[in-house]
Amino acid sequence: MHRLYNSLEPRVMDEDMLKLAVGEQGPREEAGQLARQEGILFKDVLSLRLDFQRHGGGFVGSCTSAAWIPQCVGIKLYPNLRLEPAKAPAPIVSDILRIDSLWEFENLTKLQLDNNIIEKIEGLEQLVHLVWLDLSFNNIEAIEGLDTLVNLEDLSLFNNRISKIDSLDALVKLQVLSLGNNQIGNMMNIIYLRRFKDLRTLSLSGNPIAESEDYKMFVCAYLPDLVYLDFHRIDDHMKEMAESKHQYSIDELKHRENLIQSRLEDEQAQQEELEKHKAAFVEHLNGSFLFDSMYTEDVEGNKLAYLPGVSELLQAYKDKFVIICLNIFEYGLKQQEKRKLELDTFNECVQEAIQENQEQGKHRIAKFEEKHLLETINMFERNIIDLVALFIENVQSLYPFLDDPPWGGAPSLRGEGEGEGGYPGPHQGRRLHF
């Protein structure tokens, strides 16, 4: 069910190990030389593999070397860069016991850490873009440390020591979950998975619950959107039989879920209303909350309430106090609406001013080009013609035998042929081209 320690010393994932992994699986040939010169930034890595492959009784990387070698294939650095298969890195006499030092891989989308001896899921908080995570064949006992991985779609915890499915609430995009060969024995863990509306593939084979006679029926009944169970497609007939067998229990469960969902929606609405009141600085002023909070810990005041006539006076005071609070509450909401309207108007004016300035800038640039650019081009052409004419005159003064140059009296803009020494010959001219 799990990996055992051997004679090699376990190791915590560190920066040196990660640099070695990235360097070994970076680009090769010219691209590799350039990457080594400039350095590969961890934030550019999209896919990382740090696992140990069992081969011939030992653990090796991508090549058949009888040693413990971390394998880190598939590191993507740039979209248009083709990575070639890695050569076997130098042996490392340890494997990974604890996850650490991954905070710089902020854009990582795929991480493979299987076949190690990891005991706890940790150090993944910064990998918020992670889509694919493999932690199979480790010594993990509890699901934890995944609260920030809101984009995770594929999670493998195959062959660990997990006994309970929980702490996955943040994984709202989860589609594939592999939990085979663990120690899950309670069928109620299946019901927990109903909250993942996108879950389509589930593996639980090798757990105590998979030995139950009603296992497949139970899973198909309580997870009706599941497509694959333990690497086998669920057919429609199986789903119909499962639904029919567990119809009463499912209806009761749906009723409880609807009640819970309704309560959650009410709480969310209340929270949104409270945030609105906080923005207007009038939270808890729409009732007796402020008055009650003032007298909650007033022991002497509570004792006075038992005196004859004091209770009526206190109630009358409370009523007036609450009325004042309600007036402040209504006034605060009105002022907040007024502020919001003013802010929206201000933002609209800013956008209009930006757009107007952009239009004015385009108009001025077009006007400048129309007025000055054409004149500048004409002046440039005249200067070029004068320079070419001066050049021809100087050449003729230096070489009198070129009184009748092959290119004629006027300079041409395309040249051809040269005489000895690179100069135009008597019957060959090098016409100038600008």
In order along its 434 residues, the chain shows pLDDT tens digits of 455 555 456 677 667 777 777 766 666 666 556 656 666 777 778 888 887 654 333 333 333 222 223 333 333 333 333 333 444 444 343 478 888 888 888 889 999 999 888 999 998 999 999 999 999 999 999 999 999 999 999 999 999 999 999 999 999 999 999 999 999 999 999 999 999 999 999 999 999 999 988 899 999 999 999 999 999 999 989 999 988 888 888 888 889 889 988 999 899 999 999 999 998 899 888 988 888 888 777 777 777 777 888 888 888 888 999 999 999 999 999 999 999 999 999 999 999 999 999 999 998 888 887 777 777 888 888 888 888 888 888 887 877 665 555 555 544 444 444 444 444 444 444 444 43
Helical spans, DSSP H, in 156-227: 188-192, 215-222
Structure-token pair, residue 302? 């509570």
| pLDDT of 333 | 92
Strands 96-98 and 11-12: parallel
| pLDDT of 135 | 94
Structure-token pair, residue 24? 């070994």
Cα(373)–Cα(140) distance, integer angstroms: 72
CA angle 76, 77, 82 (to 5 degrees): 65
Return the number of other C-beta atoms located less than 10 Å from residue 271's C-beta. Answer: 10
DSSP H/E element including 238: helix 236-245
| pLDDT of 83 | 37
Cα(161)–Cα(142) distance, integer angstroms: 8
273's torsion region: left (phi>0), alpha (psi -120 to 50) or beta? alpha
Cα(62)–Cα(416) distance, integer angstroms: 61
| pLDDT of 313 | 86
| pLDDT of 144 | 93
Contacts of 159 (CB under 8 A, 6+ apart): 1, 2, 136, 137, 138, 180, 181, 182, 206
**275: exposed, middle or buried (C-beta count within 10 Å: 0-12, 13-18, 19+)?**
exposed
Q: Residue 132's beta-bridge partner residues?
A: 110, 154
At residue 94, the 3 state secondary structure works out as coil
Strands 110-112 and 132-134: parallel
| pLDDT of 39 | 65
Cα(184)–Cα(221) distance, integer angstroms: 19
Structure-token pair, residue 275? 């945030």
At residue 166, the 3 state secondary structure works out as coil
